[in-house]
Amino acid sequence: MLKWKIQSLVMAAGVGALLTIAPAKAEDASATAAYKDIEATLGSVPDMFKTLPDVAVAGAWAEIKGVQLNPSTALDGKTKELMGLAVAAQIPCQYCVYFHTQAAKLNGATDEEIKEALAMAAIVRHWSTMLNGSQIDLATFKQQADEVFAAVKAKSN
């Protein structure tokens, strides 16, 4: 019993020592590099990035730059921003609604396209509420949806 207690104390001390070791400062360097790249890309570093801990800045910027700002993805900028706006309206996030509206316009979205994206978000939310609230059987729903798609496809041929 005494041996087990000593082993437990030694193990606890070892774990404690691991937790007190100061982490490498690589995060600071990557945050600094990310801030420089953000400024070079956007002209300044918005406060939204400064709310993140240093360890998260480079990853957050890489995600935004790799998808949202990347012109070589499957979706064009306008489509991505209209999607962002539709999601933002549903969350709801007033910051995101403002940002994605302006970004959609910057990417060529018209007022009519913005309205349509928001209408689609509302339609999806409405039917999600109805289907989930009514507890519609998912397998039956999928079967019926597939039948509808097959009929539409047959009419278009």
What's the CA gap between 100 and 114, in Å, rounded?
10
Lowest mean pLDDT among 26-30, 39-43, 86-90, 119-123: 26-30
Answer for the pair 78, 102: CB distance below 8 angstroms, yes or no: no
Mean pLDDT, all residues of the chain: 89
Q: How confident is the model at residue 29 (pLDDT cuts 50, 70, 90)?
A: confident
